[in-house]
Amino acid sequence: MKLWTTAVKYNSDQDPIPGDMIEIDRYFYKHWAIYVGDGCVVHVTTTGSGSFSNNNHTVAKVKCEPLKDVVRNNDYTVNNYLDNKYRPRPIDEIVNSAKQKIGENWHYNVLMSNCEHFATTVRYGCSHSKQGANAMRTMTFSVAVPIVLLI
């Protein structure tokens, strides 16, 4: 049984254990999921049936699917990158929390409520997204620079 450790990234040839966060390389972004055992992950997906727009948010579904189907032809790593900042919840709580959310709607927003927010909330009990924070910084810089140049 894996105990609380510092963040470690593994190659995709190593097997995740229940409660691990899975980072899937989608070229332009990273998709995140929680490994729940038996080769399956729970994740938020905006693709396929069940996704629709509602008041500037995409309403997505929380699904449990085989890891190999979610990864497809992409690379993935086990990346519990916040383990050195937050204590992960006990493994059974992570897995049960993830499974309880299956079928729920998720109000998806790339900056404030994305798949990484979902995974960190389930694992640590708090919402965090490196991608969302980086996108916010990029957007702020993209808007601020033209304004400064105009002054």
Catalytic residues: 31, 43, 115
Burial class of residue 84 (count of CB atoms within 10 Å of its CB; 0-12, 13-18, 19+): exposed
Give the CA distances from residue 8 to residues 4, 81, 83, 84, in Å, rounded to whole numbers and listed in that order.
11, 7, 9, 10
Cα 148 from chain centroid (whole Å): 35
Q: Which two tokens stand for residue 62?
A: 């929380």
The dihedrals phi and psi of 75, each to the nearest 5 degrees, come to: -90, 155
